[in-house]
Chain A
Amino acid sequence: EPEVTQTPSHQVTQMGQEVILRCVPISNHLYFYWYRQILGQKVEFLVSFYNNEISEKSEIFDDQFSVERPDGSNFTLKIRSTKLEDSAMYFCASSALVISDEQFFGPGTRLTVL
């Protein structure tokens, strides 16, 4: 069964550094998402992406965040200048138009900002 994949599984960075989290959505999916989950808390929506542009973003997704689909397979989340409070698990998800309602989640990248 096809799965969403994410790299790296764990990223440790210094405050103020840039990080790029990578995702490979399921190949025939058209909607892509980033969510984050601070340890012990609920999953929170960051941004959705469709047809090569952002379709919605939350208030968490400020100017420090950006997303890109640089080629036909990858979907990236960039945090320009990380803060301590960016430490969380970041999940990528994808869904197919029409075929299914389900959003399929990747295994996550644990980001630790020191």
Chain B
Amino acid sequence: GENVEQHPSTLSVQEGDSAVIKCTYSDSASNYFPWYKQELGKRPQLIIDIRSNVGEKKDQRIAVTLNKTAKHFSLHITETQPEDSAVYFCAASNNFGNEKLTFGTGTRLTIIP
């Protein structure tokens, strides 16, 4: 089955700087890669996703890149703000999200004011 690795497990970034979180996946059939943000005690919320037919996607300060050959994808947050502090999970799925999501182990991002 699919295995998703995520690094780093913790990341501290000065406010205004950029943060990068990286994930690798094992199943070449995976074609959908969402990123979820989870604040303490809250539900995971989708912040951005990418399909395998696209190499990069951007939404304001957040971008995701995908390298299918290397089977890795990354989340980039620019101009970080204190409210970006949370745990971020990457995930992978077949069938464009209508199959199970396999999650990475999470990255605790702390923005230092």
B106 and A42 form a contact (CB under 8 A): yes
Q: Complex formed: what's the CA distance from A49 to B91 in Å?
A: 19
| A56 at the B interface (CB under 8 A) | yes
| A43 at the B interface (CB under 8 A) | yes
B12-20, B60-68, B71-79, B92-100: which one contacts chain A?
B92-100
Within 8 A of B (CB), among A88-114: 91, 95, 97, 100-108
Contact residues in B for A45 (Cβ distance below 8 Å): 100-102
| B32 at the A interface (CB under 8 A) | yes
Q: Complex formed: what's the CA distance from A103 to B106 in Å?
A: 18
Which of B43, B103, B104, B106 contacts A106 (CB under 8 A)? B43
The count of chain A contact residues (Cβ–Cβ below 8 Å) is 24
A-B CB pair tally, cutoff 8 Å: 56
A101 and B100 form a contact (CB under 8 A): no
The count of chain B contact residues (Cβ–Cβ below 8 Å) is 23
Known: A101-B51, A102-B34, A102-B49. A43 touches B99 (CB 8 A): no
| A18 at the B interface (CB under 8 A) | no
B100 and A33 form a contact (CB under 8 A): yes
| B89 at the A interface (CB under 8 A) | yes
B101 and A103 form a contact (CB under 8 A): yes
Within 8 A of B (CB), among A54-109: 56, 58, 91, 95, 97, 100-108
B97 and A48 form a contact (CB under 8 A): no
A48 and B100 form a contact (CB under 8 A): yes
Q: Complex formed: what's the CA distance from A33 to B43 in Å?
A: 14
Known: A42-B105, A43-B89. A105 touches B45 (CB 8 A): yes
A48 and B44 form a contact (CB under 8 A): no
Contact residues in B for A44 (Cβ distance below 8 Å): 103
* Chain A residues at the B interface, C-beta cutoff of 8 Å: 31, 33, 35, 41-45, 48, 50, 56, 58, 91, 95, 97, 100-108
* Chain B residues at the A interface, C-beta cutoff of 8 Å: 32, 34, 36, 42-46, 49, 51, 89, 91, 96-106
Known: A101-B34, A103-B34, A105-B44. 20 other contacts (CB 8 A): A33-B100, A33-B101, A35-B101, A42-B103, A42-B104, A42-B105, A43-B103, A48-B99, A50-B98, A58-B100, A91-B43, A95-B97, A100-B97, A101-B51, A101-B96, A101-B98, A102-B34, A102-B46, A102-B97, A106-B43
